[in-house]
Amino acid sequence: MEGIEIQGGRRLAGEVRISGAKNAALPIMAASLLIPGPTRIHNVPRLHDVLTMLELLRLLGVAGDHEERSLKLDARDLVSTEAPYDLVRKMRASVYVLGPLLARFGRARVSLPGGCAWGPRPVDLHIKGMRQLGAKVDLEHGYIVARADQLKGARIPFEKSSVGATGNVMMAATLARGLTRIENAACEPEIVALADFLIAAGARIRGHGTKTIEIEGVDALHPTTFTNIPDRIETGTYLAAGAITGGEIICTGTRPDLLEIVLARFREMGCRVECEGDRIRLVQEGRLRAADVETAVYPGFPTDLQAQFMALLCVAEGIGVIHETIYPDRFTHVPELARLGAEISVHGNVATVRGSRSLQGSPVMSTDIRASSALILGGLVANGTTTVSRIYHIDRGYEAIEEKLSALGADIRRIEVDAPLR
Ligand code: UD1
């Protein structure tokens, strides 16, 4: 099985080109199911999750081509409306096909995803939303089975802000009859990108990026071409690599406006951060200072950067407290960071990190996409060798991470490791 080996202690410096956002590309790919003709999406990252979504779309009958960083999809004729367990359990975002299939074909059979490493992660809001649009939805043998002759616009007040449920309902509502009003909608930039894609394909949507999204149903969407937004989580991760190694990193092809609270936290920790156009430059000299982090829905601090900031706090001066408000159990990286010598205590959804002057390279195991990048960050600054196993998680969400980090001066390579027994 593949792992990543890092010799820590190198200062990173240079420019890194940021890839397209995974969490925008996945729903946009699913949205191509709404369109009876060709869809072109540019700036799509080359990642396992994108390949999994492509595999699912092809299984449904979509013609799909991946050329470099562009995707050509054509959902003119489908052969199936079923998303099987094998694909959905590999990637929860497969659930995004529910809304588009139901809206365009009047039926969908989508496996329930089950839990994940950091908790139950239910899809009840997706199901409730489809029911509110007039679909009949049953749970049968582990599958969500949904049917509707014609979806009808409705008021959909979400009791909790959910990126996935907002996206799924928004896609379904584009072809519903009449007006849908999503209240307490997710404001994440990836939802805005999805709405912009749908609008480019002829959907009538307003209010995206705010808590209330209105969708006026249309009869059909039409072929379109769309350029995906850059990945704000990848951006934050490379900036963190600069911060933790006392380096100087310039992220290019990114969107500083999507990272305001994250950049503020880097500054609070002592980093110099400058933005110009699509570039962010971070310079760190001396030791980082601890800061507190509380994850929240956008524009709050993203839960997908919580693990990486915990890695920073492990070597910062002082004590930093992390409140995880989105996924209370999202701390599977804590025992692995502790293997590198970090001092972290967890009580409920609060982690307290006492910074150490140094970490020690060790074998560690990644448990999810962002936990993997936190372990790599730890390895970059630890004394000696760190090997990160179960690296398939990183390939789900980071394009060519060891190449990008090597180009910045890291001593990092992919190796064969024994499978961990845990
Ligand atoms: C998306 C991101 C993920 C990120 C998360 C939060 C993708 C592919 N994934 O996941 O990387 O960490 O947003 O920013 O875009 N919830 C329910 N019922 C539901 C749906 C969600 O209770 O039906 C809860 C979840 O358990 C969680 C909260 O709502 O506590 C937010 O989850 P949600 O925003 O839906 O996350 P995802 O869309 O799954």
User: In the predicted model, is pLDDT for residue 112 greater than 90?
Assistant: yes
pLDDT at 422 over 80: no
Examine residue 267 and state whether it is found in any structural domain, yes or no.
yes
By percentage, how much of the chain surpasses pLDDT 90?
A: 92
**Cα angle 12, 47, 66; round to 5:** 125
Spacing, Cα 6 to ligand 1 middle (Å): 32
Query: Given this model, what pLDDT does residue 387 score?
Result: 96
Dihedral of CA 61/63/64/70: which sign? negative
Query: Is residue 116 flagged as an active site residue?
Result: yes
pLDDT, tens digit (0-9, with 9 covering 90-100), for 26-76: 999 999 999 999 999 999 999 999 999 999 999 999 999 988 899 999 999
Residues 388 and 277 in one domain: yes
Instruction: Give the pLDDT confidence score for residue 117 in this predicted structure.
Output: 72
Q: Clarify whether residues 274 and 223 are in a common domain.
A: no
Distances in Å between the Cα of 387 and the Cα atoms of 233, 407, 415 are: 23, 19, 9
Instruction: State residue 115's pLDDT score.
Output: 67
To test the ligand 1 pocket, which listed residue (88, 91, 116, 121) has its Cβ within 8 A of the most ligand atoms?
121
Q: How far is the CA of 197 from the centre of ligand 1 (A)?
A: 21
pTM score: 0.97
| Residue entry with tokens 């390939």 | 395
Would you say 404 and 238 are in contact if contact means Cβ atoms under 8 Å apart?
yes
Q: What is the CATH number of the domain that holds 334?
A: 3.65.10.10
397 in the same domain as 250: yes
**Would the CB of 303 count as within 6 Å of ligand 1?**
yes
Check whether residue 333 and residue 351 sit in a common domain.
yes
- The residue-averaged pLDDT of 277-296 equals 97
233-286: per-residue pLDDT in tens? 999 999 999 999 999 999 999 999 999 999 999 999 999 999 999 999 999 999
328 and 293 in a single domain? The answer is yes
Q: Where is the domain boundary, 209, 227, 245?
A: 227
Give the tens place of pLDDT for each residue, 128-137: 999 999 999 9
Domain count for the chain, please give it: 2
Q: Ligand 1: which atom is nearest the Cα of residue 26?
A: 8
The residue-averaged pLDDT of 371-399 equals 95
Instruction: Mark whether 393 and 409 lie in a shared domain.
Output: yes
191 and 276: one domain? no
Whether residue 143 is predicted with pLDDT greater than 80 in this model: the reply is yes
The boundaries of the domain holding residue 340 are: 2-19+230-416
- With a cut of 70, say whether residue 19 has pLDDT above it: yes
Whether residues 209 and 237 share a domain: the answer is no
Q: Is residue 73 part of a domain?
A: yes
Distance 326 CA to ligand 1 centre (A): 8
Pairing of strands 70-74, 63-67: antiparallel
What tokens appear for 69 in the block?
């960083």
What Rg, from alpha-carbon coordinates, does the chain have? 21
Over range 296-312, report the average pLDDT: 98
